[in-house]
Amino acid sequence: MAYQDTHSQTKKVIFHVYNYFKTLAGDKGNPKISNFFRQTREMTAEACGVSVACVKRVCAEGKKLFVSENQLTAEPSLFKSSKKSYKRAKPMTNLDDFDNDVVRRTVHSFYDNGQYPTSEKILEALHEKINYSGSQWSVRHILHETWANQNHTQGHIWQNSDNTEELKVPIGNGGWLIVCHAGSTSFGFVKNSKLVFRLKSGSQADYHSQMNVTIFHKWIIDMLGNLEEPCIIVTDNVTYHSTLTEKYPKANTQKADVQKWLQGKSVDFSPVETLSELREKVKLTMSKEKKYKLDEIALQMGHKMVRLPPYHCQYNPIKLIWAQVKGKVAEKNNTFKMADIEVLVNSALDAITAESWAKCG
């Protein structure tokens, strides 16, 4: 449980009062006063206007420092104030999505060219590409998915010197929109393939549960039907992109279910074989190449699905398109109402042209 910070001077006063009351409580020559101050911590808390827990913490700190009442008077600096952390803007390391993707592409370009991506080389390349003015230290601290939330807006805006006029940004992320689209550097977004819908709750944790296999498969079938020529579809490895055509026993599958699966594959096994032995037979029986439902759907419709390596989404140009869309939404979002955000997202998507895609190739 969080508690209020106590400064060193306040700690000194609390500890001084506690020691004084404790001395009175120990005065055997005056039983009335001694009994009155017997509950020393409670009396100290009441006299100083703090909680009993605060008095306990201060006394524990004083005892660790071996501070007596006389020492406290002579050396009040022995008590330390709680250290506070102050957040400040970090314009050199808190980059937007577009610039983050530029950084990632820059680093990978060095590897593609067989060069070591040192911070000095990256800094020089970023200065040329996005006029980055940070230092090598900032480059080392730059770290790096797609949705738009209700309170998505620019991080810094101009306001008057009296601070009487400003943009009131609600606390938190607010509601969420799911955006699903496909495009190409050749012709831009696929026509009639835009899908934008709201999450049923404001929790980002519900993102993958609400954008599920059923919704995504229906969308991609409709999108593939809108393609005018055979295409290669680039996708990542999100769960609802990677549903297998056949279900295999998992690590937590029960023994009876593993046996049933092996029977279905006409694999001989002994009833006394352990679960580990049965899993080895499953591995030997499983297809060497995984077959995904989306891949099969694409092939049936005359297209091919290609999957990016894990954690390499920067190779998909649509990442840069998402950055542009989110940037436009953040620039114009001043009401923070979900209905207005939905309009801004649709407008930003419609403003993306084939030329915008060509620049991301």
User: How do the domains of the chain map onto residue ranges?
Assistant: 8-78, 97-144, 175-245+291-358, 255-285
Residue-level pLDDT at 161: 42
- pTM assigned to the model: 0.52
- Tokens for 52? 């009993």
* Nearest Cα residue to 108 out of 268, 342, 266, 312: 312
Q: What percent of the chain has pLDDT over 70?
A: 74
Residue-level pLDDT at 192: 92
Residue-level pLDDT at 201: 59
- Tokens for 103? 């950084």
Residue-level pLDDT at 174: 56
Residue-level pLDDT at 66: 55
User: Residue 184 to residues 132, 180, 181, 191, 328: CA-CA distances in angstroms?
Assistant: 28, 14, 11, 11, 20
3-class DSSP state of 132: coil
From first to last of the 361 residues of the chain, give the pLDDT tens digit: 445 556 778 888 888 888 888 888 887 778 877 787 778 888 888 888 888 898 888 888 887 775 454 454 445 456 666 665 555 555 555 566 667 777 777 877 877 787 777 778 888 888 787 777 777 666 565 533 344 454 445 444 333 344 444 444 444 455 778 888 999 988 899 999 999 888 765 444 455 555 678 888 899 999 999 998 999 998 888 887 888 888 888 888 999 999 998 998 889 999 889 999 999 998 888 876 678 999 999 999 999 999 888 777 777 888 888 888 888 888 888 887 888 888 999 999 999 998 888 887 6
Residue-level pLDDT at 150: 47
Residue-level pLDDT at 256: 92
* Nearest Cα residue to 65 out of 18, 5, 57, 4: 57
Residue-level pLDDT at 78: 67
Answer whether 30's CB lies under 8 Å from 40's CB: no
User: Residue 60 to residues 11, 14, 24, 262: CA-CA distances in angstroms?
Assistant: 11, 12, 20, 65
Residue-level pLDDT at 301: 94
| Fold of the CATH domain 175-245+291-358 | Nucleotidyltransferase; domain 5 (3.30.420)
Residue-level pLDDT at 93: 52
- Specify whether the backbone of 302 is left (phi greater than 0), alpha (psi in -120 to 50) or beta: left
- b/e per residue 148-159 (b: at least 16 CB within 10 A): bbbebbeeeeee
